[in-house]
Amino acid sequence: MITEVDEALCVLLGRSLPEGTMVRLDPPKPTWETERPSNAIDLFLYGMHDDRGGRESGFADQRDERGAVVSRREPSRRCSLSYLVTARAPKINEEHLLLDVALRTMLFTDSLPADCMPDALAATDAPVFIRIANTDPGALWSNLGMPARAAFAISVSAPFLPEPDTDIAPPAEQLHLDASQKKRPPAGALAPAQPRRWVRTS
């Protein structure tokens, strides 16, 4: 599901940024300091963890035309994907302009629009939530051993669906009822009286 979220974020930002701006998934690298910059927004996936707050409960059954269960799926899980959003441009003010557009786009997008999602992500029929993270990017730059740059972080909560379980017992084809069984009297009921037999003695 990660690559589908990558693609959806690139589409979302790509249609908001100025023409000619690239959206890349490149991690920050030392060569940024010496290479000729081009207008680009970079999304760096730096963290993934279980989003327990978005877990569902209950199993989902898939049935055939007769109503028989053919597969059963466990509840979906959610993973929180953390991205560092940075900008590259020939001038600092141009980088800030690109960051401003990217930040406004993320601030006003609570969940990914359907027309941004690839088919596999849309098929989950579950929302993909976006929020600006509270992460301080300064610590990330230090961990990467690079000078700090203007940036912000986003957190994306994406659904992960387990594979369906198709090892389902087949439905019963016949139902056998044995009507020859005798009914037992209810508890406490008296047994029916038996006829008396008279024996004649001499």
Average pLDDT of span 68-95: 82
pLDDT of residue 44: 93
For residue 27, the Cα-to-chain-centroid distance in whole angstroms is 24
132 contacts 102 by C-beta, under 8 angstroms: no
- Smallest CA-to-CA distance from 152 within 132, 129, 130 is with 132
Residue type, 7: E
When comparing pLDDT for 27 and 132, which is higher?
132
When comparing pLDDT for 53 and 41, which is higher?
41
Reported as type and span, the H/E element at residue 155 is strand 151-160
When comparing pLDDT for 54 and 19, which is higher?
19
Q: Which domains does the chain have, with CATH numbers?
A: 2-160 (3.30.2000)
pTM of the entire predicted model: 0.70
* Per-residue model confidence as pLDDT tens digits over 85-143: 999 998 999 999 999 999 999 999 999 999 999 988 888 888 999 999 988 887 888 77
Q: d(Cα 84, Cα 151) in Å, to the nearest integer?
A: 7
